[in-house]
Structures are given as structure tokens and as C-alpha cells.
Structure 1
Amino acid sequence: METFDFIIIGAGSAGCVLADKLSASGEHSVCLLEAGKADKNWLIHLPIGIIALLQSHTLNWQFNSHQEKTLINREIFTPRGKTLGGSSSINAMLYVRGQQQDYDHWQSLGNTGWSFNDVLPYFKALENQERGADEFHGVGGALNVADSVSKPAINEDFIQSAVAAGYPENVDFNGPSQEGVGYYQVTQKEGLRHSAAKAFLTPNLHRSNLTVITQTQVEKVIVNNNIATGVIYKHQGKVKQLIAKHEVIVSAGTINSPQLLMLSGIGPKAELEKHNIEVVHSLEGVGKNLQDHVDVLNVAQHKRTELLAYRPKAIWWGAKEAWKFITKREGLLTTVIAETGGFIKSDPTVTEPDLQLHFVPAAMDDHGRNHKLLCTYGISLHVCLLRPKSRGTVTLNSNKITQHPRIQLNMLDHQDDIDTMIKGVRIAKKILSTPPLSSTHVNFIFPDENCNSEQEIHQFLKEKCNTIYHPVGTCKMGQDELSVVDEQLKVHGIKQLRVVDASIMPTLISGNTNAPTMMIAAKAADMILAERS
């Protein structure tokens, strides 16, 4: 049995940052365990590879929710990264922090030290902002943040149509105000994906005090007398054990972290007993409070041919764009698909944006898995609800780590979420029907022209709503009866055990969750090292 000062479970966005920060001084031995393979597949590093990564069965957990009663019993596809870098290796690379109010709200819930003023220095320290440093941005950090170098012309039409429809333009969603439409910044470097692994792990693999073990699944956190002392894991067909001298840190993500805690005997007593798991510590909040951005696509057929489609002119355009990548590291192969979008208000009376838009230069459906629709020249506009009130759960299907947990998203379970999404669909149709987009518009594919009443749009939502891949909250930070960790991210009632990933968010932030997850890990590393100094 090997002994390490720190054992980190999960080499995703949080785990990679933790591995870097905790091993940087050379004083602490760190072992990072990852269920997936190393991030060597070329699809990871070529940005347009995201299309295939969503369908990969080796680099993606390929989770599906249980049948959702609120969505006519559909199972909702819930992809998560399964490789070094985790979901930062398969995501759309958008760099978004959320709104100041998100973090101030966390602090108002009793989580001291998590206000926007507390977390902003971590965001700035992590990034190398290619535009330069200012009040909201930093340079010299490991994570490269860049402007898109793809920019199909249709994106400018979207921005102009949204502005004409009454929404302001915004050149920096991470600046003083999030509201408006424009281009997203991306975690890319020289036209290639800059994942958490590429930024924080790969450059540090030479460190003698950092051990990374891939293709290994942790089966259980060992807890003795309410103290986490190590892990049991399987690697190359053999069951092995590691000892943690200081701490075990669970960074397996919003779906896998609560599953592992429950399989280790930490969780709701009734759920553990249901699956014949010995109750080590009853903690009712494990797996509760699941939140995700409910999202729906509005799709229109289009006359433009410089679009992503399985059509002759589009393929010829793509071939010319590929030459740009070979010669200049720019063009279509660097696209993150959803390069433009924005943050808007569903109603003028709303104080902060409550809807997010992602514009896609393709006719999309079912996470891009509907290849038949891609044979059409079309455009799509995602609209998602930023701060949903609906709550879901992650529970167990069995007491085996090899079986996926039971995910119940419960999207559109709250009437306020339904009401706001109905407004969002109407806004999306308005933008797509406004020049210059409408000048080359053919017809709506879905929702169709006759989908106008609240009842009709609600039915459309039930048939088409999906996740946009931002699950959080299943090991939430706080002090109430459903909290799993405190403001130091220590698991309530268990010593030497922390959870550090998006699952600790008490409420969902207003935007894409990758950058905030890395911030959480950087802040956690500081807290951990401060205790050891």
C-alpha cells in the first residue's frame, strides 16, 4: 500500500487544478486518480472535435437520466468527460464566470469567503487573458483565454439581428456587466483546445511528487472512526489500496462524487440501506439539490451555404476552412460551434439577465446526434434558463461503482421555470425572424410557425427541452440540513475528506460552469495549503 499526503479522485477541471497547486511546492506528495484514459485522442485537441466527443463511449461517461415525468418520460442525455481534463476536454470551451450576484448569493447563504470580491482574484490568477490585464482579467496564469479565430460570417448576422431585436451588444461577458450579445471567449491556445489538463496537469507531469494513474476507478473512500484514511480502487483488473496521510479529496464531478460518497457509506441513510451499504455517516444532502440549465433549441432552415451541414457546398466551404487551419491555425476547425450568444432578460422588469443564448451555424437536434437534420442548411438558437428553481437528485441503481447512478433532473418541475422558458422561446423566434438573419431565412423547423400559445410552447418544451451540460449542487456547500460540505469544502462529520468540484455549488451560477469549477479548486487548494503551513 502506497502512501501519499493527498489523494485526489477525478482528474477533471477541479482535479487538474488541485494536482497542480498542491504539488507545486514539492513539499507534498499527490496522487491523482482518473477513471478515463489519458487525453491523447486528437479529437480532444481539435476544437471542432466536440461533435464526435459528445458521442464517444471512451472519452464520455454517456450518462442518461431516468425517465423524466416533466418531459413526457424522456431520458435526458447527460454527457460528462471521462479523460484527463474531464469535461473541459470535451466541452465547448466557452469561458464564462457568471454574475457577481451569483457568488454574493452563496455568501448570503452563510458561506463566508465566497462573495464575488473573494473569488475574483482566483479567476484572474488562473487566466492568461490574451486581451491583456484589467480590473476583471489577469495575465500570466496557466489557463489561456482567447478570442475565437473561427467566426463564420453568419455569426455577425446573429449579433446584428439580436441588437435589432432590442438587445445590447457586449464585447466582454466577464467584464463589468454580463448583459448583452456578442462573441464568447474560449479556452484555446493557438487554435487548439486548452483544457484543464493541458493548462494545469501536462506541464507538471515531470514533478517527482505528483503521481497520475489513469484508467482506474475508485470503488470506495476508506473511513475509520469518521476519518478518511485512503481509497480502494481497481486498476488493470486488480483491487488496490492507497493511504492518505493528510486528506482524500473527491473531485469526481456532480454525478460521480455523490455516487462515490454513497458507495463509501456517506449519504442518506434510507438510500444506503436500500442497497445494502453499511452506513458510515448519515448525511441526507448527498445527491440532493441537483440543478442544471434547462435548454431548448429553436431551429430554422436557411439559404446560406457557409454552414455546418452534410451538403456539397457546405463541405467545399469546410475544405477551404481546413486549409486556414493548416496554414494559420484558424478557421472552421477551431470552431467551438456556439461561438456567439449572450445573456438577456426574459422581461424588462428582471434586474439581471435570466436567459442565456448560444447561436449555432447548423440545424441541430438531440445534441447533434440527429444526422438527418444536418443534411439541411440551417441555423439554431439555444435558449437556456440561468437560475432554475427545479431540483433533481442523484441516487444509486446498485451498490456497484461500475453501474451508472440514477439521475433525476426534474427539469421544468417548477412553474416559474416553465413561464420563463416560454418567454425565452418567444424571444428566440423573434431574433431568428429579425433581419439580417430573416433575409436568408426559409422557414422554422421547430417550433413551427403555429406554436404560439403558452400551452403550445409548453408542450414543445416538454418534447424538446434538454440539458446544456452544467449540472451542479449534489454535494452543496452550507450549514443547513441538506448541506454536504462547509465553506472550507470539508465533508460534514468526516475528517480529512473534502469535495472539490461543481457539486459543491449551493446554487447554479449564471453561465457555463467550467471556469467557476477551476476557480473553486484554486481557492480550495489555498485553504488546504494554509492548514498545512
Structure 2
Amino acid sequence: MAAFDYVIVGGGSAGCVLASRLTEDPDVSVCLLEAGPAKQDSSVRMPAGIMKTMKDPNRNWLFRTEPQKNLNGRELFWPRGKAMGGSSAVNGMVYIRGHRADYDRWSAQEGCTGWAWEDLLPYFRRSENNERFTDDLHGQGGPLNVADPRSPNPMSRMYVEACAANQIAGNEDFNGPRQEGAGLYQLTQKNGERCSAYHGYLEGVDRPNLEIIDLAHATRVAFDGTRATGVEYRRQGQHETVTANAEVLLCGGAVNSPQLLQLSGIGAGAELAEFGIDLIADRPQVGRNMQDHLDVSIVNRTTTKLGFAFTLRGILMGLKATRDYRRNRTGLLTSNFAEAGAFVRSTPEEPLPDLQYHFLPVASDQHGQNRIRAHGVTLHCCDLRPKSRGRIGLKSPDPMADPLIDPNYLDHADDLEKLKRGTRIGRSMLAAPPLKQHMGEEMFPGRDVEDDAALEAFIRRKAETIYHPVGSCRMGSDQDSVVDLDCRVRGVEGLRVVDASVMPSLIGGNTNAPTIVIAEKIADVMRTKH
């Protein structure tokens, strides 16, 4: 088919949800374009395959930021999913909704009426099939399977006990009545395999009204005047166009969606003119308001060898794990590595948990790309609600070129202070029993890094993204917002953005589950109005 009711750009977390929900109506036709491959190989299905997909150019955009002035001029690595399932096909699978106060803030303070916690809870429940919790806060029978870690490492449980020794209470359910505390994360996993948005919503779905085109790199939204009429894309060296009779839906995420808007003539007029792009709508906020969770890691060697490592013993453990995985879908290869974590307040005065920890029973540096040949643990810490704001822009009018990514990390002084406090709290976690007796040398920050100046220098030298960019196509009721409360792009017709880029501000946690819920809600809006 050359024409459909809806054309969706991006087969990620939001795109899969929309494609599935809209085509439940047999009278609605949908074309889903995805730049990456549709085939789900073992590196995607196997949770530990994240070690490969993190640097696989066939399934990862492998973006890099602009030099960060507050991080010693470093260009940071920004992995983003490039496959059916998007970043949910390559992420750490941690299922976190965020704090209910985050959504109430969207509604009450940030002009997003209808997006409060009570408005979104039904969609969290609809999307979820929780294998353990059956209360009023959780769902059963939804497409996204949520399960406990299949074979957690004993050190992950020790981390939770060490938090208790620091007066951080245990928490069995971070998505329950209380977020604060320490515990094992629940994961988007089923029977020991990853459950991405594609696996949950589209795999095995065979509908004549849905066409999926993979390896299709969208280059421009086509317009008739100010009405979106379709999408131009490049596939296997050929230029193609697909027509949308009703709407075009951009689901490329916080990086690709604003880039495609700008390439299509929607953005700051003066900036687009510099690249010779004809203006469709002068929307200066496209690409602005970008936020991300900046993360700093404490890395310790261990005196025992309970965790995974790139050593001879680690290789032998891997061979056993391969056998366990093939036979029973159990063992090390079912691990997302970040099996345990905590939500804490950096000071007693904080009204909400403002720090999140991810504990890994492996010594890891630079997204695992710097392989440390020693047994150890890594404790990640991020500031949940940073005040710094960055932007997504263009480097070139060439749609095949990477966009300009400038998170502007640590632009606000409070963000640095939070990470310094978070590092100190994290050190106290690793120094408490029962972890204490397993801890050896602290590799990062290092035993000589103690005072404020040394900690600040360490953070500027080593902080990295924890993969949660949002906000670059901000939703709101004000006329400056990029999209309205139904995610329709202001200034044009027949075009929506539905992904993490529409979040007005970061939520307190991992962003995959909220992105899925955004798509669930907008699918309902569209079906009601169709």
C-alpha cells in the first residue's frame, strides 16, 4: 500500500504501542517505519546481550554529544535503540513508573491538565502484566510483562541489606504506595527473556491493516501547506514516500523526533534558514527543554568472586551461564546486571526521593566499554530532577547526519551538589555490612578523593548519561509548547509527537514505562476521535 490512515515514524516504545492499539480497529490502516532491523536476534532477546547491543551499529544509533563545557569538554556517548522496540530493545529493562508527584506536577504546575497520576494510573495498569503484584496499583493481562529478576546475584541482595544498615528501609515494590527505599528491581522480562515494547505489543501480530517497513530512515515529513500528508524515507539506497490520509505520528524519541521536525521545516525559523530549510512553522521551542539523568559511578574491586568479570574465572562462569540459559532460561545471562537499587533523599529536607541508585555485581566503566579485568561492583547514582536544560538541534540539513546533542549538563549548580551528596551516600552503602567484608580497593572515585573539590573534579571527569533524555518537544497548554495536551504539533495539522520528548519535565526514575503510558493514553484519544 502507498497510503494509510496513519504513518508512524519509529518502532520504539511508543511507536509499537500506537501501531498495536490503533490497528485493533480493523477499519484503521497503519504503516510503521523503523530505521533499524525488524529481526530480533539473540543479543536482543537475551538480557545480558546488552553488552553487545550497547555498541552494535545495526541496533544502536551510537550518538555522541557536543563537548560538554562543565564536564571537561568531553563528548559523551549516548546510546539509543535502533531496532523494533527502540530503546526498550537495548535498555536495562528496569520497570519504574516514577513518583506519583511527578505527574501531579505536570498537571498542576506545568500546564498539562489531564496528565496527573490518577489520570495515568489506568494506563499503567492496562499496559502491565505483573507476575507478582495483584493490587489496585498493578495490572494483569497487559502486553508488557513485568517480573522479578530470574536469577539475582547474591551481591544484589547484600546491597539491599547494606542499605538497611544505613537506615534505608527495604522496599519490595518501587511502583507501590511508597517509592523510597532499597530493593530488587522488577524488569520487563518474560521467561528469562527481554520483553521490549515490540515483544509485548507487536510480535506475532498479523493484521492486514498494519504494515511494518524496517531499515527505513525517515528524512522528512511531507506537507501540503501546513498539513502533514506523509513521510519521505530512504531504504536500501532508494527514496520512497508513504502517504498518511489522517495523521503522521512521530515516535522517534527525544533525539530523533525534534531532529525530524527541524528537517521538515518546524523549528526556530532563523536556525532553519541557516541550513536552507524551508519554513513550515516557526516553533522556537522545538529541541529545547531537553533534560537527562546525569550519572556518576562508584566502582570497587571485591575480595570475593561472586560477580561477573572479564577474567578467566568470569569466562568459565559465562560458559556455565550459557548452558543454564539454553536449558532453563536461568542464570547469569538472564541478568540485566542492574538488579538492585534504591531511591533516597539527598537531605532530610527533600520532599521526595531525589537520588536513584543502580547496583551492578560487576566492575563497569564507560558504559561497559572500558573492560575492567577484575571482580568488583558498580554503584550508579543519578540526580532524579536536574535543573539543567539542553537542546537537540541540527548539524547539517542532511537527514542521514547525526543531530546536534547538547545536554548542557551541570549548567545549574544544584545538579553538581546533588551528585556530590549522592556519591557520599553511595560510599556509605558499600561500606556497610554485609557488603563491607567483600569490598577491596575503591577504583573510582579512589581513596584520595574525599573533599568537595576532589569530588567535583571526579564528577566532571567521569559522569555519564544513564539514558533518560526527555522534554525536547515539550507538551503544554501554553502557546510556546511544541505539542498540545493531545500531543498535536502546534502550528500545523495532521501531525503529532508521541514519545518521551513530550514530557514537560523528567520523572523520578527510568523513563521506559512512562513512555509506553504516554502512547497508551494518546491511542485512546485518537480512537475516540477517529
TM-score (norm 1): 0.98
1:419 corresponds to: 417
1:162 corresponds to: 163
Question: Is the contact made by 1:476 and 1:482 (CA closer than 8 Å) also made in structure 2?
Answer: no
1:185 partner SS: coil
State the Cα distance separating 1:444 from its structure 2 match: 0.6
Q: How far apart, in 2, do the equivalents of 1:249 and 1:492 lie?
A: 14
> 1:268-279 to 2 correspondence within 5 Å?
268-279=268-279
1:59 corresponds to: 59
Greater CA drift, 57-66 or 476-485? 476-485
Instruction: Give unmatched runs, 5+ long, in structure 2.
Output: none
Report the AA paired with residue 167 of structure 1: I
1:229 partner SS: strand
State the Cα distance separating 1:516 from its structure 2 match: 0.5
Report the AA paired with residue 232 of structure 2: I
State the Cα distance separating 1:236 from its structure 2 match: 2.3
1:330 partner SS: coil
1:451 partner SS: coil
Residue 321 and residue 238 in structure 1: after superposition, are their counterparts in 2 closer, same or farther (change >3 A)? Answer: closer
Q: How far apart, in 1, do the equivalents of 2:11 and 2:158 lie?
A: 39
Which structure 1 residue ranges, 4+ long, deviate > 6 Å from structure 2? none
State yes or no: 1:329 paired with 2:312: no
Question: Is the contact made by 1:38 and 1:84 (CA closer than 8 Å) also made in structure 2?
Answer: yes
Instruction: Give unmatched runs, 5+ long, in structure 1.
Output: none
1:168 partner SS: coil
> 1:19-418 to 2 correspondence within 5 Å?
19-108=19-108, 109-204=110-205, 206-371=206-371, 373=372, 375-418=373-416
Q: C-alpha offsets along residues 80-107 of structure 1, whole Å, 9 cap, x if unaligned?
A: 0000000000001111100001111111
Report the AA paired with residue 92 of structure 2: A
1:88 partner SS: helix
Q: How far apart, in 2, do the equivalents of 1:237 and 1:443 lie?
A: 52
State the Cα distance separating 1:443 from its structure 2 match: 1.4
Question: Is the contact made by 1:285 and 1:481 (CA closer than 8 Å) also made in structure 2?
Answer: no
Question: Is the contact made by 1:306 and 1:314 (CA closer than 8 Å) also made in structure 2?
Answer: no
State the Cα distance separating 1:20 from its structure 2 match: 0.2
State the Cα distance separating 1:47 from its structure 2 match: 0.5
Q: How far apart, in 1, do the equivalents of 2:377 and 2:21 lie?
A: 42
State the Cα distance separating 1:162 from its structure 2 match: 1.1
State the Cα distance separating 1:310 from its structure 2 match: 1.6
Question: Is the contact made by 1:286 and 1:482 (CA closer than 8 Å) also made in structure 2?
Answer: no
The count of residues paired between Structure 1 and Structure 2 equals 529
Question: Is the contact made by 1:307 and 1:362 (CA closer than 8 Å) also made in structure 2?
Answer: yes
Q: How far apart, in 2, do the equivalents of 1:140 and 1:441 lie?
A: 42
Q: How far apart, in 1, do the equivalents of 2:438 and 2:231 lie?
A: 58
Question: Is the contact made by 2:59 and 2:82 (CA closer than 8 Å) also made in structure 1?
Answer: yes
Report the AA paired with residue 376 of structure 1: A
1:366 partner SS: coil
2:70 partner SS: helix
Q: C-alpha offsets along residues 147-179 of structure 1, whole Å, 9 cap, x if unaligned?
A: 111211111111111110121110000000110
1:358 partner SS: strand
2:455 partner SS: helix
Q: C-alpha offsets along residues 22-59 of structure 1, whole Å, 9 cap, x if unaligned?
A: 00121100000001111322100000000111011110
Residue 114 and residue 383 in structure 1: after superposition, are their counterparts in 2 closer, same or farther (change >3 A)? Answer: same
Q: CA RMSD in A?
A: 1.1
State the Cα distance separating 1:495 from its structure 2 match: 1.0
Greater CA drift, 303-312 or 344-353? 303-312
1:421 partner SS: helix
Report the AA paired with residue 332 of structure 1: L
Q: How far apart, in 1, do the equivalents of 2:328 and 2:9 lie?
A: 38
1:157 partner SS: helix
Q: C-alpha offsets along residues 420-471 of structure 1, whole Å, 9 cap, x if unaligned?
A: 1110010011111111111121111011112111111111100011000000
Q: How far apart, in 1, do the equivalents of 2:3 and 2:57 lie?
A: 33
Question: Is the contact made by 1:39 and 1:85 (CA closer than 8 Å) also made in structure 2?
Answer: no
State the Cα distance separating 1:319 from its structure 2 match: 2.9
Report the AA paired with residue 62 of structure 2: Q
Q: How far apart, in 2, do the equivalents of 1:57 and 1:236 lie?
A: 16
- Identity among equivalent positions (%) equals 44
2:511 corresponds to: 513
Greater CA drift, 474-483 or 237-246? 474-483
State the Cα distance separating 1:482 from its structure 2 match: 4.2
State yes or no: 1:453 paired with 2:451: yes
Greater CA drift, 24-33 or 222-231? 222-231
Report the AA paired with residue 456 of structure 1: A
Q: How far apart, in 2, do the equivalents of 1:132 and 1:290 lie?
A: 34
Report the AA paired with residue 121 of structure 1: P
Q: How far apart, in 2, do the equivalents of 1:68 and 1:97 lie?
A: 29
Q: How far apart, in 1, do the equivalents of 2:437 and 2:236 lie?
A: 58
Residue 419 and residue 132 in structure 1: after superposition, are their counterparts in 2 closer, same or farther (change >3 A)? Answer: closer
Question: Is the contact made by 2:111 and 2:478 (CA closer than 8 Å) also made in structure 1?
Answer: no
2:510 partner SS: coil
Question: Is the contact made by 1:231 and 1:242 (CA closer than 8 Å) also made in structure 2?
Answer: yes
1:499 corresponds to: 497
Q: How far apart, in 1, do the equivalents of 2:511 and 2:495 lie?
A: 23
Q: How far apart, in 2, do the equivalents of 1:349 and 1:117 lie?
A: 26
Q: How far apart, in 2, do the equivalents of 1:237 and 1:441 lie?
A: 54
Report the AA paired with residue 8 of structure 1: I
Q: C-alpha offsets along residues 361-386 of structure 1, whole Å, 9 cap, x if unaligned?
A: 11111000002x2x011111000010
State the Cα distance separating 1:197 from its structure 2 match: 0.6
Q: How far apart, in 1, do the equivalents of 2:91 and 2:343 lie?
A: 19
Q: How far apart, in 2, do the equivalents of 1:497 and 1:145 lie?
A: 32
Report the AA paired with residue 421 of structure 2: K
Report the AA paired with residue 51 of structure 1: M
State the Cα distance separating 1:503 from its structure 2 match: 0.2
Question: Is the contact made by 1:284 and 1:481 (CA closer than 8 Å) also made in structure 2?
Answer: no
State the Cα distance separating 1:481 from its structure 2 match: 5.5
Report the AA paired with residue 296 of structure 2: V
